[in-house]
Amino acid sequence: MGVRNAPPHAGPMLESLRGLGYATPTAIADLIDNSIAAHAKQIDIQFEWASDKSWVRIVDDGIGMDDCKLESGMRLGTRDPRTERADGDLGRFGLGLKTASFSQARRLTVASKEIGGEVVCLRWDLDLIGKESGTDWPLFEGPAPGSEHLLAPLYEMEHGTVVLWEILDRIVTEGFVVSDMIELLDSVEAHLAMTFHRLLEQQNTDLCLLLNGRAVKPWDPFLISHPAKALESSEYRLVNTTGVVVQCHVLPHRDMLKPVEQEKAAGPGGWTQQEGFYIYRNKRLLLSGSWLGLGDGGKPWPRDEAHRLARIRLDIPNSADLDWKINVLKSTANPPVRLRTQLHRLATETRATARSVFAHRGHISPALHKGAKALADVWQVRRSAQGTSYRIARDHDLLASVLSRAGPLKQDIHAVLRLIEETVPVQRIWLDTAEDKETPRTGFVSTPEKEVLETLYAMFEALVQYRGLSQDEARERLSRTSPFHQYPALVSTLELGETNDEFKSEGF
Ligand SMILES: Nc1ncnc2c1ncn2[C@@H]1O[C@H](COP(=O)(O)OP(=O)(O)OP(=O)(O)O)[C@@H](O)[C@H]1O
Ligand SMILES: [Mg+2]
């Protein structure tokens, strides 16, 4: 049987690799991974606008490379993705430096210096591929003529690496002007602030990312330790894994945040884009704002307003790369099938809490959470094959008490209740919620206390006189029942007889 040697054609191969799907921010993040893996502490990213002579440069003070390591690092597929990596290594495929750079630029120059060593420099130039006779994959020594000054910072350093992108044909496209460059910088900053936030906010970290001279401030998607958070679970290790750790978070409702906090917490994509799982590999964010295809009844959960406060942090070690199918761009990860049930359960619980915070505009007291004895809800939700319907609970304490005293009016009251149930303005509520991105106000919000007390008193009276509870028991129950749990001071003043005449509502 014959064997043929079929190496790829350099030109078409490199052009194709440009289309892997990087955006500028993800490409920069891939280079920062390399700097961090090389123990860099200061990483200086510079975008320089000079129309078709624009350039991007990353200078790091990592351990650097000697000539041999640099040549190996510049080679495509320099390392087998199956080989084990050091714990803190953010690489996997031996491709990132090249694929990320080619996705944005036609010329990639890398200069590097190890401690006590010389500056070494190699360059890929896509415009010169196929132009050097006898060399299919020409890797040039030294910078392009005229670009030497751009490597100058390295000569001032004891060790480090400079990555230089020139001929930015994928960034400086037709019509691209300086204001587009500024916008691009903003999106790079937001992406880096999110992608590296754990590494930047670590205690005693001396890591610093500078973007055009300005330090990138970490963006914490979880508002860690914020007092108004409805959920910040402890960290648990998933079973059947080697160190996958999860922590569930439900962020505070908008009403509980100051406007600046609210805007910041939303994140680069906005609230709904940012809900779901956040997967970190060695504390570097791979993916954010996705429900990972989990869902119910064969349908994946969409990202929607009702669950926008749910964010779940998942940490995977780099030894689990194969299992989680991470990609070259470090922008996706897929949980192994055997973990989906565990993840589904955690996500379901977190989503339920988030939904209830959203629905109650954040007013979920710890007492309500713990399943303490509260009164039944007035509204009951019924789901059936015909759809969802909303019913008023006839055994609700106040209602049952009224019905038991209603005499000849009982039938009429039942008719009124049916009318209300059948005419709940569902579409209107749905539209208003979508438009305002908030549930409409309920639960006596902005209602004068006197009015709240009228209803509260009627409930109290029904509990004591028609349910046979002691006054203490009735107050205790009401203090645990939504929405009255928000009025502990009013509940504590309830006393049968005294306020009776003053607050008795008409008709009771
Ligand atoms: N800034 C840097 N400092 C020191 N060494 C570097 C730097 N950038 C790249 N290297 C070396 O070049 C090699 C190739 O980098 P490249 O990003 O192409 O692949 P990788 O990081 O190994 O894997 P991945 O494709 O997953 O990023 C690295 O493994 C590292 O040894
Ligand atoms: Mg890399």
pLDDT band at 365 (very low <50, low <70, confident <90, very high): very low
The pLDDT of residue 368 is 44
pLDDT in tens, 176-214: 999 999 999 999 999 999 999 999 998 888 999 999 999
What does the pLDDT average to over 494-501?
66
The pLDDT of residue 376 is 65
pLDDT band at 374 (very low <50, low <70, confident <90, very high): low
What does the pLDDT average to over 300-309?
94
Lowest mean pLDDT among 43-47, 81-85, 148-152, 218-222: 81-85
**Residue 293 CA, ligand 2 centroid: distance in Å:** 27
Lowest mean pLDDT among 6-10, 101-105, 130-134, 166-170: 130-134
Question: Whose CA is closest to atom 30 on ligand 1?
Answer: 73
Spatial distance between the Cα atoms of 197 and 166, rounded to a whole number of angstroms: 28
Residue 364 clears pLDDT 80, i.e. is over it: no
pLDDT band at 500 (very low <50, low <70, confident <90, very high): very low
Residue 392 clears pLDDT 70, i.e. is over it: yes
The pLDDT of residue 375 is 63
For 89-233, list the strands marked E by DSSP: 107-113, 120-125, 140-141, 160-166, 208-211, 214-215, 231-232
Classify residue 469 by burial, with Cβ atoms within 10 Å: 0-12, 13-18, 19+. middle
CB 281 within 8 A of CB 316: yes
Kindly give, in sequence order, each residue whose CB lies less than 8 Å from that of residue 205, ignoring residues fewer than 6 positions away: 199
Residues with C-beta less than 6 Å from any ligand 1 atom: 30, 33-35, 38, 60, 62, 64-65, 73, 78-79, 91-98, 161, 328
The pLDDT of residue 502 is 45
**Residue 59 CA, ligand 1 centroid: distance in Å:** 14
| The residue type at 433 | T
Looking at per-residue pLDDT, the higher value among 477 and 302 belongs to 302
C-alpha dihedral (173, 175, 179, 185), degrees to nearest 10: -10
Classify residue 263 by burial, with Cβ atoms within 10 Å: 0-12, 13-18, 19+. exposed
Question: Whose CA is closest to atom 9 on ligand 1?
Answer: 34
Q: Which of 34, 79, 119, 157 to mutate to test the pocket of ligand 1 (most atoms within 8 A of CB)?
A: 34
Residue 77 clears pLDDT 90, i.e. is over it: no
Looking at per-residue pLDDT, the higher value among 90 and 432 belongs to 90
**Residue 91 CA, ligand 1 centroid: distance in Å:** 7
Residue 385 clears pLDDT 70, i.e. is over it: no
C-alpha dihedral (98, 99, 100, 105), degrees to nearest 10: 80
Residue 241 clears pLDDT 90, i.e. is over it: no
Question: Whose CA is closest to atom 13 on ligand 1?
Answer: 73
What does the pLDDT average to over 402-415?
88
**Residue 111 CA, ligand 2 centroid: distance in Å:** 16
CB 392 within 8 A of CB 417: yes
Q: Which ligand is nearest to the CA of 69?
A: 1
What does the pLDDT average to over 23-49?
97
Which position has the token pair 């490199």? 14
Lowest mean pLDDT among 39-48, 222-231, 371-380, 473-482: 371-380
Spatial distance between the Cα atoms of 413 and 429, rounded to a whole number of angstroms: 25
Average pLDDT value over all residues in the chain? 88
pLDDT band at 373 (very low <50, low <70, confident <90, very high): low
What does the pLDDT average to over 276-297?
95
Both tokens of 259, joined, read: 């406007």
CB 343 within 8 A of CB 334: no
Spatial distance between the Cα atoms of 170 and 18, rounded to a whole number of angstroms: 9
Residue 156 clears pLDDT 90, i.e. is over it: yes
For residue 100, the surrounding DSSP H or E stretch is helix 96-102
List, in order of start, the domains of the chain with CATH numbers. 11-215 (3.30.565.10), 231-359 (no CATH), 379-503 (no CATH)
Spatial distance between the Cα atoms of 153 and 478, rounded to a whole number of angstroms: 69
Lowest mean pLDDT among 88-92, 116-120, 367-371, 489-493: 367-371
Residue 62 alpha carbon, nearest atom of ligand 1: 3
3-state helix, strand, coil in the chain (%, to 5): 40, 20, 45
What does the pLDDT average to over 233-241?
85
Residue 281 clears pLDDT 90, i.e. is over it: yes
Q: Which of 17, 66, 95, 97 to mutate to test the pocket of ligand 1 (most atoms within 8 A of CB)?
A: 97
pLDDT in tens, 422-453: 888 887 887 777 777 777 777 777 788 888 88
Kindly give, in sequence order, each residue whose CB lies less than 8 Å from that of residue 124, ignoring residues fewer than 6 positions away: 14, 74, 98, 101, 102, 107, 108, 139, 140
Q: Is the peptide bond before 440 cis (omega within 30 degrees of 0)?
A: no
Both tokens of 90, joined, read: 């953010």
